[in-house]
Amino acid sequence: MNTYHSTYTKQRNPQMNQNHVSESPGFAKIGIIIGTAIVILVGLAYCTFYIVRAGEKAILFTFGEIVAIRDEGLHVRIPFVQTVQKISTRTQKAEVPVVAASKNMQTVSGKLSLNFRLDPDRIDSLYKKVGLNYSDKIIFPRMQETFKAMSAQYVAEELLTKREDVRNDIQKRLKNQLAEYYIVVNEGDVQITDFDFSPEYNKAIEEKQVAEQLAQKALYEKTRAQTEGETRIIHAQAEATAIEIQTKAIQSQGGKEYVNLKAIEKWNGALPAYNGGALPFVQIPSNKMQ
């Protein structure tokens, strides 16, 4: 019964079935159009708006020509006409291995470190003059050249003993050279690490240090011996003087009688043990006992 009714309905309403079929493709086309429009709008918004973050500058180009420098914040550009190049203005670090010859032709090697930043007010000039590859084009070559030039002004030993002067000279020279490219170097931005010389020179330095230590030790021993000798002489002279004074005192006090008196003063009252005969006793003159 139900099967017959469904067949009968389809046969009686063929136009209704055709309208249902024809409406489905229409809705699909509308959905595609709306989705495409959303994608286009999002793409246009992405191409139109851009954000410059803190510590950055943005160069705005119109058909490849620099037209403005943008600070941090939200900005607008014309899609497909204008482009943006962001550049960091934060402090950056460059490190490069260096090898040079000292004034006395000794090979010296090490690592040179440089902290630098780009002048935020001259970003456009830097870009026009150098581009974005400023490290490879400018900074690294200048660091190596400066180290070689400064090392040639000092003998090898001075590169160690006057290391702070060498660092200051390198910093001053780099600061002046990089300023031409709007790269800023401040006080304390240069460091020299891993300073080393050839194995032969290192051995010579070690031998020299050992010789200096032995010489200092020998000088110390000599000074010590002299001091001890002088001390013994002083003590001997003092003892001789004391003996002379005592001798004169004994002679002035009556010689033998003075010695006996001193013995009595030191006597503790105990009689000494004596075998046979009478006990000896010190004879004390009557005039000394009164």
Which pLDDT does position 233 carry in this prediction?
Answer: 82
Contact, 112 vs 192, CB < 8 A? Answer: yes
Share of the chain above pLDDT 90, in %: 42
CA angle centred on 281, ends 276 and 283, rounded to 5°: 145
Structure tokens at 213: 């230590």
Residue 59 has pLDDT above 60, yes or no: yes
Question: Mean pLDDT in the chain?
Answer: 79
Distance of alpha carbon 86 from alpha carbon 79, whole angstroms:
17
Query: What are the domain boundaries of the chain?
Result: 1-88, 92-197, 214-264
74 CB-near residues (< 8 Å, 6+ apart): 49, 50, 51
C-alpha 79: how far from chain center: 48
How far is 119 from 125, CA to CA, in rounded Å?
Answer: 10
Q: What is the largest CA-CA distance in the chain?
A: 180
Can you give the pLDDT at residue 5? 47
Rounded to two decimals, what is the model's pTM? 0.58
> What pLDDT was estimated at residue 246?
67
Q: With bands split at pLDDT 50, 70 and 90, how would you rate the model's confidence at 47?
A: confident
Place of tokens 């004879």: 283
Q: Which DSSP string do the residues of 140-175 spell out, in sequence order?
A: HHHHHHHHHHHHTTS-HHHHHHTHHHHHHHHHHHHH
pLDDT category, 231, cuts 50, 70, 90? confident
Q: Are 235 and 243 in contact (CB under 8 A)?
A: no
Please provide the size of the chain in residues.
290
CATH 3.30.479.30 fits 92-197, yes or no: yes
In this predicted structure, what is the pLDDT of residue 223? 79
- Predicted local distance difference test score (pLDDT) of residue 121: 92
Q: What is the dihedral of CA 10, 16, 21, 23, to 10 degrees?
A: -160
The string of pLDDT tens digits covering residues 20-37 is: 444 556 677 787 888 787
Q: What band does 206 get if pLDDT is binned at 50, 70 and 90?
A: low
Using pLDDT thresholds of 50, 70 and 90, give the confidence band for residue 70. very high
Question: b/e string for 173-205 if b means 16 or more Cβ within 10 A?
Answer: bbbebbeebbbbbeeebbebeeeebeeebeeee
Q: Each residue of 121-168: pLDDT tens digit?
A: 999 999 999 999 999 999 999 999 999 999 999 998 888 889 999 999
Give 102-127 pLDDT, tens digit per residue.
998 888 999 999 999 999 999 999 99
Residues of the chain above pLDDT 70, percent: 69
- Determine the pLDDT at residue 46: 74
Report d(CA 130, CA 136) in Å as an integer. Answer: 10
Summarize the confidence of residues 169-190 as an average pLDDT. 94
